[in-house]
Amino acid sequence: MMAIASTTPVRQATTRDADLVGDFVAELFEELYGPEFGLARRSIYRAAAAELLPAHDIYAAFLAQAPTGESVGLLTVSQCVAVYAGGRFGEINEFYVKPSARKLGLGRALIAAATAEAKRRGWPVLEVGAPDMPRSQPTYDFYRSCGFTEVGPRLELYIAARPA
């Protein structure tokens, strides 16, 4: 596990934070896709977080803290592999800051934590999938301002049934 300096508003999530991580993912998907993919699946997301948080060798989650100490944001990152990336690399899976806490620099602090984690693990690349355009232009612009470059769209194919 990576220790983040106490002067930063970010801390690494532990297994005790599984419900909180799941709740943030539910809020993210609620905002992006509506209640049937958000809060209705909260228990699924909480269970997945409880399973993933102990997998420190391939997965990490970071929580952003408001000045009050309340957790107001989440970023998760996991290890992937590909020849084009030179082997192992990192991918940001979920990234969410509560609307009331946006524009406070917490998103950048979470990106900094993910970047530090990538360096610690020796990942030469950190990827993220941006939401649909043009609705998500501010998100895209944020990632670009953090140094990300566009490499093309991503698609997914569900092999098993999508969770209900």
The residue extents of the domains of the chain are: 10-145
Residue 56 phi, psi dihedral angles, 5° rounding: -60, -20
Q: Which amino acid is at 61?
A: A
CATH code for the domain defined by 10-145: 3.40.630.30
Cα atoms in the Cβ-side hemisphere of radius 13 Å centred on 50 = 7
The token pair at 70 is: 């309340």
Q: What is the pLDDT of residue 6?
A: 45
From 11, 5, 129, 130, select the one nearest 60 (Cα to Cα): 11
Q: What is the pLDDT of residue 4?
A: 42
Positions in the chain whose pLDDT score sits under 70 = 1-8, 162-164
- Bridge partners of 91, per DSSP, are 78, 127
